[in-house]
Amino acid sequence: MEMSELQDKIFAFCEAAKGKKKLKEKDIINGINAESGLDKDEIKKALREMINVGRLMYSYGGGASSVEIPSEEYLREKGLIK
Amino acid sequence: MKKYDTPLIDELEKGPWPSFVTEMKKSAKKNEMANDAVGHLEKCFKTKVGYWKHGGIVGVLGYGGGVIGRYSELGDEFPGVAHFHTVRINQPSGFFYTSAALREICDIWDKYGSGLTNVHGSTGDLVLLGTKTEALEAIFAEYSSRGWDLGGSGSALRTPSCCVGPGRCEWTNYDTLDLSYALTQEFQDEIHRPTFAYKFKIKMSGCACDCVASIARADMSIIGTWKGNIEVNQDEVKNYAKNGMDINAEIVGMCPTQCMSYDGKELRINNAECSRCMHCITRMTKALRPTGERGATICIGSKAPIVVGSLLSWVIVPFIKVEPPYTEVKDLVRKIWEWWDENAKPRERIGEVIEMKGMRSFLEGIGQAPIPQQIKEPRKDPFMFYTEDDMAAFKAKEAEEKKTGKYKF
């Protein structure tokens, strides 16, 4: 699978969980692995690239960290959108 | 700049001790954020309410830790603390700085933050207190361009921390500074990208004096120890006695395993019973000295109370050689994480998971054989447990005995 296709899949997975469940990195990796059977390291690499460019972001609440889709405010603050 | 009346926190400046209020007031004279922090603190004391909220979405791009979002509910009244985020800077091993390095840190911080610092926080990091969200990327860019990095926070490996070790201490049994640096470099990903169920702390002490209190504060405590006997210089023992030390009361009587005796002339140690606690050595530094092979004991599981009560670390590896490139230690850390990852629910520390799943499951998971040194306390229940493999082996033996008529014991 192409990297961009995998990243779209990851994004859709996170979008489906939005407001329902705080996803950890592991949840996403295991979830995509179960859906597509792709190698976990490959999923991890794709996920981290998305975080590096701000397509996904780390969040923190109640003592635990999670991964989620960034808000417009966050993207603006990071200079990724105007 | 607004001047706050602070009768309550002024009380904390009285007495002969250093006062954080005095230091905050010094910063307040030249920094609006620090000034509002002083007013905010007085209000907290007056109303007996902490107005701080924490967490949320603050950080630098690509990193999941290192910045802890802090906000005040009283942002309108104290605009300088409306956003008052904490930045953790990864400290050097053993907390050694040059004055030039400290000036560099403070100059950058004065530019972007409140100027208030906490050197060091209980995690071990150098903590910068109070900045705004929009300044975070600039702060990170300035620090990282000068070779500094953020520390860990959230569900990640927290910045490894260690005692001063061989930098200043003759009793260290391994190079804590080097191990701390090596683990920090090896596990960069685990520090900056939170993937665990909850936090994981590694602290390293060179001996059982445990100057970084790893036994109580770290999920994984690496505490220096030795295998040989304690060498006794009887002439120096006599000098201690001559100079007024009550050896029976202060040394022999305080030995936790009661492995020492003193007849007024000679100090004797039954080394086989010694637990290497360092008490006698630290009291009689000229007379006693460890000998033989050096290494570390690895303990697991301490934590402060959140999900279950507070725990102290307990022994899983009584002796391990700690030498570069530290492959054995790194492999063990990875195995521990793997087991924890498989078994923990969100916000469960490893000590709690071991309490729930049992030491047996943990030891099997990390591939360590059960040994007497791992016993935390004498067992209280009479039950014995066998695995399916144990039962299969037992049945096979029984069948063979029946077949051959020869009994194996």
Give the CATH number, domain containing residue B264: 3.30.70.20
Residue B335 sits in the same domain as residue B198: yes
Say whether the peptide bond before residue B120 is cis (omega within 30 degrees of 0): yes
Does residue A63 form part of some domain?
Answer: yes
If one counts the domains in chain B, the total is: 3
What residue has token string 């003592």? A63
Q: Cα(A61)–Cα(A70) distance, rounded to whole angstroms?
A: 15
Does B197 lie in the same domain as B77? no
Name chain A contacts of B154, Cβ cutoff 8 Å.
Answer: 58, 60, 64-65
Q: Give residue B65's Cα distance to chain centre.
A: 18
Query: Would you say B310 and B351 are in contact if contact means Cβ atoms under 8 Å apart?
Result: no
Q: Count the residues in chain B.
A: 409
Q: Would residue B325 count as lying in a domain?
A: yes
Contact criterion met (CB < 8 Å) for A62 and B59: no
Task: Report d(CA B207, CA B226) in Å as an integer.
Answer: 9
Same domain, B249 and B216: no
* Residue-range definition of the domain harbouring residue B237: 230-290
Rg (CA), chain A: 13
Provide the domain count of chain A.
1
Q: Please give the residue of chain B at the shortest CA–CA distance from A69.
A: B57
Task: Choose among B132, B34, B41, B50: nearest CA to B83.
Answer: B132
Q: What is the pLDDT along chain B (409 residues), one digit of tens a residue?
A: 888 999 999 999 999 999 999 999 999 999 999 999 999 999 999 999 999 988 777 889 989 999 999 999 999 999 999 999 999 999 999 999 999 999 999 999 999 999 999 999 888 999 999 999 999 999 999 999 999 999 999 999 999 999 999 999 999 999 999 999 999 999 999 999 999 999 999 999 999 999 999 999 999 999 999 999 999 999 999 999 999 999 999 999 999 999 999 999 999 999 999 999 999 999 999 999 999 999 999 999 999 887 778 999 999 999 999 999 999 999 999 999 999 999 999 889 999 999 999 999 999 999 999 998 888 777 676 667 788 898 999 999 999 999 998 887 7
Tell me, yes or no, whether B86 and B58 share the same domain.
yes
Last residue of a domain, one of B145, B170, B205: B145
- Helix, strand, coil content of chain A in percent (nearest 5): 55, 15, 30
Say yes or no: A77 contacts chain B, CB-CB below 8 A: yes
**Pairwise CB contact (< 8 Å): B155 & A64:** yes
Q: Are residues B347 and A63, on separate chains, in Cβ contact within 8 Å?
A: yes
In a domain, B268, yes or no: yes
Domain that holds residue A38: 3-77
A71 — contact with chain B (CB < 8 Å)? yes
Q: Say if residue B179 is in the same domain as residue B309.
A: yes
From the candidates A25, A58, A72, A78, which should be mutated to test the interface with B, based on the most B CB atoms within 10 A?
A58
Nearest to residue B298, comparing CAs of B156, B173, B138, B389? Answer: B173
Residue A72 falls inside a structural domain: yes
**Test the A interface: residue of B83, B85, B139, B155 with most A CBs within 10 Å:** B155
- A30 part of a folded domain: yes
**Residues B27 and B135 placed together within one structural domain of the fold:** yes
At residue A68, what is the residue type? E
Residue B223 sits at the vertex; the CA angle it makes with B208 and B280, to the nearest 5 degrees, is 15
Contact B277, B167 (CB under 8 A): no
Per DSSP (E only), the strands in chain A are: 57-61, 64-68
The sign of the torsion formed by the CA atoms of B32, B37, B38, B40 equals positive
Backbone angles phi, psi at B325, to 5 degrees: -90, 20
B280 plus B299 within the same structural domain: no
CATH code at A47? 1.10.10.10
Domain containing residue B56: CATH number: 3.30.70.2500
Residue B186 sits in a domain whose CATH number is 3.30.413.10
Report how far residue B59's alpha carbon sits from residue B57's, in angstroms, rounded to the nearest whole number. 7
Q: CB distance from B15 to chain A under 8 Å?
A: no
- As a whole number of Å, the end-to-end CA separation of chain B is 86
In this complex, is the C-beta atom of B346 within 8 Å of any C-beta atom belonging to chain A? yes
In a domain, A82, yes or no: no
CA–CA min distance B153, chain A (Å): 9
Across the interface, of B57, B199, B346, the residue whose CB is closest to A57 is B57
How many interface pairs between A and B have CB atoms less than 8 angstroms apart? 68
Closest Cα to residue B119, out of B23, B208, B188, B191?
B23
Rounded to an integer, what distance in angstroms lies between the CA atom of residue B326 and that of residue B105? 31
Measured between beta carbons, the chain A residues lying within 8 angstroms of B304 are none
Cα(B45)–Cα(B278) distance, integer angstroms: 43
Residue in B61, B63, B346 nearest the CB of A64: B346
What is the distance between the alpha carbons of residues B342 and B361, in angstroms, rounded to a whole number?
12
Co-location of B259 and B349 in the same domain: no
Does B265 map to a domain?
Answer: yes
Instruction: Please tell me whether the peptide bond between B325 and the residue prior to it is cis, using omega within 30 degrees of 0.
Output: yes
Question: What is the C-alpha separation between B66 and B140, in angstroms, rounded?
Answer: 10
Residue A32 lies in a domain: yes
- Please tell me the distance in Å from B319's CA to the nearest CA on chain A: 33
Chosen domain end from B249, B267, B290 = B290
Q: Are B313 and B300 in contact (CB under 8 A)?
A: yes
B354 Cβ contact list (under 8 Å, min separation 6): B300, B301, B362
